[in-house]
Amino acid sequence: MNFKEQREKKAFLALANGSVFYGYSVGAPVDTCGEVVFNTGLSGYQEILSDPSYSGQFVVMTAPEIGNYGVNEDDMESRNFFAAGFIVRELNEASNWRSQESLQAALVRRNIPALAGIDTRTLTLLLRENGAQKAFICTSGKIEPNTAVEKANSWQGIDNQDYASVVSCEKPYEFNFEGFDGEKLPPADLRVVAYDFGVKYNILRSLRRAGMQVSVVPSKTSAEEVLAMKPDGVFLSNGPGDPSAVGYAIENTRKLIGKVPIMGICLGHQIIGLALGGKTQKLKFGHHGCNQPVMDCSSHAVEISSQNHNYMVMPQGIEDKAQITYQNLNDGSVEGLRLKNEKVFSVQFHPEAAPGPHDSLHLFKEFRKLILNSR
């Protein structure tokens, strides 16, 4: 670690509101724009960085010490790191038998800028009070703070932007998973087509563990192409950006409803809400963390969920077509939908992330049951 850089704190994060936070660079030497959000997880930084849903965003970790257990290929949630930047209080050296490289080395190798030495407590409180912020990370020392603030303000942001097509796979592929460490999987007797809007690997693993063979298709694949594959069910994945900007996905979902059982997670949930004629609204600072309580509206059971989203489905306008199945206990927002007259359901949270640790894994079995009952 370069202690001279730590002392001088020449790198900085400039927010659109004029606030500047100084630190030192622990990632790639990149100057770039992004939207700043905070994540309340105590661990899971590799899964966060490799979650495509963070595309275009700088992630602030509220836990003070990050990097302790390093990085390894088994814990990747996608093919790369997709967060636009990473901000921590203190970056530690790796000390874990599973570690294959340090977090800093992984950030540099994947060209992701990162800052340490930041007062993340003050930054998080600012984001809670003022909402997610457009921002600019400067690691080069070649840009003045006032100029960086101007760059943050002039950046287009993530609203009305289609990030899903940017992170999606380019070609269809079969997801092959044989289990970890001798794990015995059930026969794959159902075939599901999964739309990749930024899908996480553990979602695909969870579908396979529920007895489904998964064919993954790019985000803009037409409904007609999907139906021609004769799937038993269709899965709409998580993904980044503004759900109202993926009009092609909304239209394809409208065409698929009533033709095949459908399950959606996160962005997939929002797409279903929009396909029903509903609307989405941006949350003040989003839900980002692995400790979000949600309530099953039928049983009133509470599940601890992992979440990563900036937008919510508004209940107005879809009451006659869908029932709300889950509710966020922190702010009352809609966390799940089930169509009244069609075999379609969705959740805003991530059951595959297992923060409970297994509170919500039953949802993949429910998808299987939904498919079997539709035959």
Identify whether 287 is a catalytic site residue. Answer: no
Kindly list the distances between the CA atom of residue 363 and the CA atoms of 175, 206, 220, 226, 334, in Å, as whole numbers in the listed order.
Answer: 20, 10, 26, 23, 17
Which one is catalytic: 77, 266, 309, 335?
Answer: 266
The answer to whether residues 353 and 47 touch, using CB atoms and an 8 Å cutoff, is: yes
Burial of 106 (0-12, 13-18, 19+ CB in 10 A): buried
The answer to whether residues 167 and 77 touch, using CB atoms and an 8 Å cutoff, is: no
DSSP state for residue 55 in the 8-state scheme: B
Compute and round to an integer the Cα radius of gyration of the chain. Answer: 21
**Between 362-373 and 201-209, two packed helices, what is the crossing angle to 10 degrees?**
60
Q: Residue 222 pairs with which residues in a beta bridge?
A: none
Burial of 235 (0-12, 13-18, 19+ CB in 10 A): buried
**Cα 90–Cα 88–Cα 47 angle in degrees, nearest 5:** 115
Dist CA 126 CA 124 (whole Å): 5
Identify whether 266 is a catalytic site residue. Answer: yes
Q: Which H or E element spans position 281?
A: strand 280-296
Torsion of CA 123, 128, 130, 133, to 10 degrees: 60
Torsion of CA 204, 206, 209, 211, to 10 degrees: -70
Burial of 341 (0-12, 13-18, 19+ CB in 10 A): exposed
CA atoms within 13 A on the CB side of 253: 32
Kindly list the distances between the CA atom of residue 41 and the CA atoms of 93, 207, 288, 361, in Å, as whole numbers in the listed order.
Answer: 19, 24, 8, 19
Which residue numbers are catalytic? 266, 350, 352
